[in-house]
Structure 1
Amino acid sequence: MSGAGSKRAVRDVNRRVMDQATRQRRARKALESLEQDNFHDDPHADLVMSKKALSLFQDHPEEERKAKRKSRTTEYYKQRFRKNFPQLLEEDAVQNPNPPNYLSAQTLNSLQPARHFCAVCGFSSKYVCVVCGTRYCSRRCQETHEETRCLKWTA
């Protein structure tokens, strides 16, 4: 007798089930790797166009003669003097040394139960992956999770 249930049962037997501590360690490692990715400034910010580069990316001399001086927009200054999150936190700590500030802001735990969201689509979720503990809302999201996300970051 071969049905959809038996195929799933065979597939689930071959999968490793993690305990709560391993799940938390895996989630912490994933967050740390995301933080490392977000911390760095743009590596291409200081690149200068080569003089031999195609003129497609540079202004033509005729246009420069017509407009002797280009006015810089506020967007130019926003991009040029952009700050990353640690710089903004440091600036906030200097400007507001006494609490309340960003680093000292806290609140009590909510009296409402925690809301759970699908890791795939973001809708409200009812189900939990038995292997890694990630939440999903439907069969389609479960299949997507198992194909692409489950145990992507192993401890």
Structure 2
Amino acid sequence: MAGVRGRENDRRKVLDDAARKRRARKAVEALEQDNFHEDPHADLVMSKKVPKFAESNEKPTRKKKSKSAEYYKLRFRKTFAQLVEEDASFRPEPPNYMSAQVPPSKFPERHFCAVCGFPSNYTCIPCGARYCSVRCLGTHLDTRCLKWTA
């Protein structure tokens, strides 16, 4: 078993910063593609109608369903690029999204574990992802490290 693990580590390649940034950009683009789709459960409404047990001779009247604001929000949703363009045309003079800038932070950058989100002190050598413990390293190697991006 130890021999198999050793051969697996020999096949891993170490990426430079440019390749790491390309992979991170591709991962973000893939997530944005996944997140853009509409929620299949958005139209579900919890109904707490009490069943009527008494018989009545009246015919039930159907109400026409009115479409809520949520329906229109989902139907006519705008992408981030559309919102930025709209903001620039609505308010061409500063301050707007394109002109907003802040100076660099005076504090050092904080690093968080790619697996659990806790503060991390360690970096994966092949891909550069951060991890905080041996357990998170194992999870990272089994599921994330250089497997899902090309």
Normalised by the length of structure 1, the TM-score is 0.66
**Alpha-carbon distance in structure 1 between the residues aligned to 2:66 and 2:25:** 47
Q: Give the Å deviation of 1:68.
A: 4.1
The percent identity for this pair of structures is 55
* Alignment counterpart, residue 140 of structure 1, candidates 122, 135, 138: 135
Q: Name the count of aligned residue pairs.
A: 130
1:57-108 deviations in Å (ceiling 9; x for gaps): xxxxxxxx61343333332333333322222222211211111111221111
Higher helix share: 1
* Alignment counterpart, residue 95 of structure 1, candidates 90, 93, 97: 90
RMSD of equivalent CA atoms: 3.1
Matches within 5 A, 1:40-59: 42=38
Correspondence for 1:17: 14
The answer to whether the 8 A contact 1:39-1:85 is kept is no
Q: Show structure 2 runs of 5+ residues with no match.
A: 41-59
Q: Give the Å deviation of 1:149.
A: 0.7
Change (3 A) 1:109 1:83: same
1:3-58 deviations in Å (ceiling 9; x for gaps): x8x987665444322233332332233334444x168665x9xxxxxxxxxxxxxx
Correspondence for 2:146: 151
Normalised by the length of structure 2, the TM-score is 0.68
Q: Give SS of 1:66's match.
A: coil
Q: Give SS of 1:25's match.
A: helix
